Amino acid sequence: MKFFTKLRPTKNMEKIDIKKYLPKWTKRVFTDMGGRDPLGLSRVSFIITDYLLTGIITQTDRARYYSFYCWALWHIAREEHPQKYQKFVDAFRRREATMALATVSNNPGTSPVGITAARAYLDKGLQTKEINCNFRVLPSNALGGYGQYYAGSLNQLGLIYKADDGIDNANEYGEALAKAFHSVIEKTPYIKKRLYINDHISLKDLDASKQYLTLDALNISSASEERLMLKDLFFGFNDKFPSERTLMRRKSLSHILYMISEYNEKRIPVNKDSLDWDLVFPIYYYDVFSTIKKVPIEYKTPEQYSLNKSLWKQFCLQQFITQALESLMYCVLEIIGSESAGLRIDDLILQILQHEFYSILKEATQKSCKKPIDLLTHLGINDVPPEKTSLRLQKELSFIHPLSEAQIIHMDFKTPQAAAVRAMLILFVTYGKWRGLKHDVGFNYVAAHANNELWAGTLLQVLDKCLDSKISWDIVLHILIEHFIVNQHDRIMYEKRRLDSCWIHKIEERIIKEQDYAPRWRSSRHYNAVSIMSDLGLIDIDHKNNISVSNEGQQLLKRIMRNV
């Protein structure tokens, strides 16, 4: 059994003015981020993705919902004239349930919003030949997928507005899109018999209507106008004076088409289920194609996409920072979880800095790193990195380099000490790669928009003090754990006003575990973008989920690249 002496603050620790590196809390701001994000690291990721793919979020992956929901709003106003909000909700619920039923019935392999409820009602209706279509597709929201997911996206795209009575309505383009949708379904029994006012639909009428009501109907000839309008919407062709965000979405979508076409040309498979590791991290961050070859193939970004790529690169950087801090949080939770009364930070650090920590660090670097300066020296960093050093490290620590972020994150972090090493390696590598870049466009964009949120720019400066040979690992860990795990967690929980839903809490300087947590990746929304473009006929997906750019997609890409 090993005995440890109590770790006490040292003079070196007192030298570090941590406050000047931390975000300033100028006022209390309530944010409703929800989800499992104990350190608030999703916020900067969201700032970036929301700018680059406005109107497309992680829960919106079907193109026809954008036209269907516009139609539902427009059609209810035209046909039922609800005077009370509840009447509107009832009318909306019937239409959305019927859409879900039609989609599942037409293609059991398709997953509309509310698939679980739709399947249950459809199975029951198959027995009685009459199906209940007056149910919530999502029990938690009266307006189903629209209220839960799509309303915000439709609002961002300028398709809807809220009237004084609180009922949403379609705007000018939203109404035009609604009419295009209506032209596809107007000859169905569902419309001709006014079945939308009933709580039930016969199996016969559903069967006769489903191929036009389904989410998959965009590929039929009668939906050509609707499909064209949706394409114009997503690429911003419907707007004579497109906004900055619209242009960024156009560039992001067309850049995705370009990257996939380059993969196709080189006969390198790209799969819908691994888009982040086929497109996002290899290309945006490392400028290479993801390939099984030992020597990666260089990717050259067209000039018109350089700004777009720079911003997506910052998304990747935020994900690496997220992995580092959440790995450290995992380490903290694993260690304090074995102590019912929790641990003080200094005692916690003593358990981290056991022999395993140093042996794993040595195995990863092939060098004994007794102090942080040893790791920085190994990376060729002897002073606060100038731009030249950061650019060198970005080039040298490439996609397949053992000390690149992409390789470090695949380290086994099943033990707390391994997780801590993983965190330190990512932080020190990103420090070297980014500390000296003062003129990177994407980095400066995030700096201007992150406000008080935690991101690379506010975190990496803290590591400057690691250039002092007197600074030890216990000091660095103390700073990171106290300020970027414990205090950051408390700040986020306070802002969310969810103090009863936390991962750790502190009592008399002791940190106590509340629940488990493991590092997770934030969505780049590329899966959703590809799914939408597939619905629009711009991308083909085979039975193995390998993707390629269709002829229509190639024509659109050429059009955009000529005019960008």
In the beta sheet, which residues pair with residue 510? Answer: 344, 507
For the chain, state the CA radius of gyration: 27
For residues 550 and 545, give the distance between their C-alpha atoms in angstroms, rounded to a whole number. 14
Hey, which residues does 539 pair with through a beta bridge? 549
Nearest to 161 by CA among 173, 148, 179: 173
pLDDT at position 34? 46
Predicted local confidence at residue 500, as pLDDT: 65
Q: Give the contacts of 444 (CB within 8 A, at least 6 positions apart).
A: none
Task: Name, in order, each residue with C-beta under 8 angstroms of 119's C-beta and a sequence gap of 6 or more.
Answer: 104
CA distances from 166 to 85, 145, 295, 531 (A): 7, 18, 58, 32
According to DSSP, residue 23 is labeled: P
Residue with tokens 């080189």: 266
Q: Rounded to whole angstroms, how far apart are CA atoms 453 and 435?
A: 18
The reported pLDDT for the residue numbered 33 is 41
Q: Residue 249: how many CA atoms within 13 Å on its side-chain side?
A: 28
Q: Say how far residue 242 (Cα) sits from the centre of its chain.
A: 24
Tokens of 45: 């990721």
The residues, ordered by sequence, that sit 6+ positions from 458 with a Cβ below 8 Å of its Cβ are 21, 22, 23, 450
Largest CA distance in the chain: 82
Residues near 428 by beta carbon (within 8 Å), at least 6 away in sequence: 372, 375, 376, 379, 463, 466
Under a CB-based contact definition with an 8 Å cutoff, are residues 260 and 269 in contact? no
CATH number for region 244-301+525-563:
1.10.10
Number of neighbouring beta carbons within 10 Å of residue 8: 8
Structure tokens at 14: 């007192």
Element (H, E) at 394: helix 387-396
**Among 116, 124, 137, 115, which residue's Cα sits nearest to residue 201?**
124
Give 536's contacts (C-beta < 8 A, 6+ positions apart).
63, 218, 227, 230, 231, 234
Transcribe 146-158 into DSSP letters: IIIIIHHHHHHTT
Q: Vertex 294, ends 290 and 297: CA angle to 5°?
A: 45
pLDDT tens for the chain, residues 1 to 564: 332 333 333 334 334 343 333 333 333 333 334 458 999 999 999 999 999 999 999 999 999 999 999 999 999 999 999 989 999 999 999 999 999 999 999 999 999 999 999 999 999 999 999 999 999 999 999 999 999 999 999 999 999 998 888 899 999 999 999 999 999 999 999 999 999 999 999 999 999 999 999 999 999 999 999 999 999 999 999 988 999 999 999 999 999 999 999 999 999 999 999 999 999 999 999 999 987 777 889 999 999 999 999 999 999 999 999 999 999 999 999 999 989 899 999 999 999 999 999 999 999 999 999 999 999 999 999 999 999 999 999 999 999 999 999 999 988 778 999 999 999 999 999 999 999 998 899 999 999 999 999 999 999 999 999 999 999 999 999 999 999 999 999 999 988 877 667 999 999 899 999 999 999 999 999 999 999 999 999 999 999 999 999 999 999 999 999 886
**Cβ atoms of 280 and 317 closer than 8 Å:** no
Q: What is the pLDDT of residue 7?
A: 32
3-state secondary structure of 342: coil
The pLDDT of residue 70: 98
User: How far is the C-alpha of 282 from the C-alpha of 284, rounded, in Å?
Assistant: 6
Q: What's the start-to-end Cα distance of the chain, in Å?
A: 67
Q: CA-to-CA distance for 179 and 186, rounded, in angstroms?
A: 10
If phi > 0 it is left, if psi is from -120 to 50 it is alpha, else beta; for residue 293 that is: beta
Closest by alpha carbon to 530, among 26, 15, 63, 48?
A: 63
Q: What are phi and psi of 236, to 5 degrees?
A: 75, 20
CA distances from 409 to 287, 288, 439, 519 (A): 18, 18, 27, 10
Residues 143, 151: contact at Cβ < 8 Å?
Answer: yes
Q: What pLDDT score does 13 carry?
A: 37
Instruction: Tell which residue, 40, 31, 17, has the closest CA to residue 329.
Output: 40
Domain spans of the chain, in order of start: 64-235, 244-301+525-563, 305-513
User: Do 206 and 97 form a contact (C-beta atoms < 8 A)?
Assistant: no
Structure tokens at 97: 């349930």
